[in-house]
Amino acid sequence: MDNLALIEAFGDFKEVKNISKIDLMAIIEDSLKTLLRKRYDSDDHFDVIVNPDKGDFQIFLNKVIVEDEMSEDDDLEIEISEVRKIDSTFEVGEEYTQEIPVAKLGRRNILTLKQILATKIQEHFNAALYEQFRDRIGQLVVGEVHHIRHKHVIMLDDEGNEFILPKENQIPSDFFKKGDNVRAIVESVDFRGSKPQIMISRTSPKFLEQLLELEIPEIQDGTIILKKVVRIPGEKAKIAVDAYDDRIDPVGACVGVKGSRIHGVVRELRNENIDVIQWSKNPEILVKRALGNIIINKVEVDEEHNYAMVYTPIEEISKVIGKQGQNIKLASWLTEYEIDVYREKQEDDDVELKEFSDEIESWIIEEFKKVGLETARSVLDKDTEALLNLVDLEEETIEEVKNILREELED
């Protein structure tokens, strides 16, 4: 096998791996030097010249000229009588450079060279793949489902690059079939052995950010700024947006007419509920907006301790907290304040007696209701002696009820 034939033998591999001829020549030079070190323990006496334009290479061995019958290493020394058959001007102690045809390395060494080449080409491809996707962390990719396994899904992109989507990075309601095209973001790229492993995610807030950029041109061109994105995958998300131009409505631009712009994102996220709010530098306003369309009477913010106290009517408390605490949790993440909600303190606050059924027995509540006393204040506004004449209850029971009611209203 001559030099050119050896290079051509890797032509198909070169095309598949998309390696340039110059890179291939550099790999061949490195591979040849590796082989020479294996064969001769060192490549110090060799010169390797690779010509990318012609697509060939040459190996030159520099031997030291010694007296006849004084050679101790035929690989590195040559006798003077042999050299003078070629050129009579050579002298003992000089270097004699001799080209080594690849075929002279022997069949076994050529096979070894091919193995070294294959290994180094794969290493080159792995390093290039690692650099390529390391620069794409946080960016959107599309892969076709290739294998579905218990703990992860394996996908391939158009170039045959392999992505791994772990179970924990899937939206809970995700369901994939072989051949499905799936969007996700690159979460991490790490070497597993000698091969880079590309992990992708559909649960990261970055995935939502990328989808918004894709669907909303104003975010992509920078007219609208994504200030913060938080989400509970598959359940609920909140995004805060702002605009450099006060004439632009960033929330309206993101949502679109009748939700037309946000609908595609919601569908991709398996109907994840998305709240879009306008960012504010004022922490009280930001907290109010983050909690959604809820009646909030007062917000007290402790910026030093990143803490916010929200006061709201009692009937609004469940809305502030939300299903499984999702609303207040996401609002806390979005604003970066720990939010606590309190029933607003007002003098005219009153609570129906039935709300105390976990503390006061129902038959006692019924006794008060029989005489028209149905709220906490209606009971507290009467003294104990008057209540004794109205209801069929012991004085001790009445005092106990009043203590419970008083404690609640004071809180």
Give whichever of 170-174, 297-301, 376-380, 401-405 has the largest mean pLDDT.
170-174
Rounded percentage of the chain residues whose pLDDT exceeds 70? 90
Mean of the per-residue pLDDT values of the chain: 85
Instruction: Over range 325-342, report the average pLDDT.
Output: 95
**pLDDT score for 70:** 74
In this structure, are residues 159 and 171 in contact, taking their beta carbons and an 8 Å threshold? no
Bridge partner list, 186: 137, 200
**pLDDT score for 384:** 87
Instruction: Over range 157-184, report the average pLDDT.
Output: 94
Q: Looking at this protein, which amino acid is placed at residue 168?
A: E
Instruction: Over range 36-50, report the average pLDDT.
Output: 76
Q: What is the pTM of this model?
A: 0.67
116-to-20, 57, 119, 212, 356 alpha-carbon distances in Å: 18, 16, 5, 47, 81
Q: Is the dihedral of CA 336, 342, 347, 349 positive or negative?
A: positive
Is 80 exceeded by the pLDDT of residue 285? yes
In this structure, are residues 185 and 207 in contact, taking their beta carbons and an 8 Å threshold? yes
Q: Is the dihedral of CA 68, 74, 76, 82 positive or negative?
A: positive
Per-residue pLDDT tens digits for 4-29: 455 555 444 445 456 666 777 777 77
**pLDDT score for 344:** 66
Distance CA 183, CA 143 (A): 7
Is 70 exceeded by the pLDDT of residue 306? yes
Which range has the worst mean pLDDT, 62-76, 150-164, 272-286, 359-373? 62-76
**pLDDT score for 88:** 77
* Site of tokens 């000698």: 194
Distance CA 208, CA 227 (A): 13
Cα end-to-end distance, the chain, whole Å: 93
Per-residue pLDDT tens digits for 206-218: 999 999 999 999 9
Per-residue pLDDT tens digits for 118-158: 787 788 888 888 999 999 999 999 999 999 999 999 999 99
If DSSP codes are grouped into helix, strand and coil, which group holds residue 337?
coil
Instruction: Over range 295-316, report the average pLDDT.
Output: 90
Binned at pLDDT 50, 70 and 90, residue 329 comes out as: very high
Q: What is the torsion angle, in degrees rounded to the nearest 10, for the CA atoms of residue 211, residue 215, residue 219 and residue 225?
A: -50
Is 70 exceeded by the pLDDT of residue 49? yes
Instruction: Over range 159-184, report the average pLDDT.
Output: 94
Is 70 exceeded by the pLDDT of residue 411? no
* Site of tokens 């930001």: 286
CA atoms within 13 A on the CB side of 372: 2
Instruction: Compute the chain's Rg from CA coordinates.
Output: 39
Distance CA 315, CA 350 (A): 12
Q: Is the dihedral of CA 158, 163, 165, 171 positive or negative?
A: negative
Instruction: Over range 155-169, report the average pLDDT.
Output: 94
385's tokens: 């002696």
Is 80 exceeded by the pLDDT of residue 104? no
**pLDDT score for 54:** 62
**pLDDT score for 14:** 47
Instruction: Over range 227-248, report the average pLDDT.
Output: 94
Of residues 232 and 72, more confidence is placed in: 232
Is 60 exceeded by the pLDDT of residue 3? no
Of 129, 124, 163, 128, the residue nearest 143 (C-alpha): 163
Rounded percentage of the chain residues whose pLDDT exceeds 90? 44
Binned at pLDDT 50, 70 and 90, residue 227 comes out as: very high
**pLDDT score for 1:** 43
Instruction: Over range 347-370, report the average pLDDT.
Output: 84
Distance CA 109, CA 1 (A): 12
DSSP letter at 198 equals: E
* Site of tokens 């890797």: 10
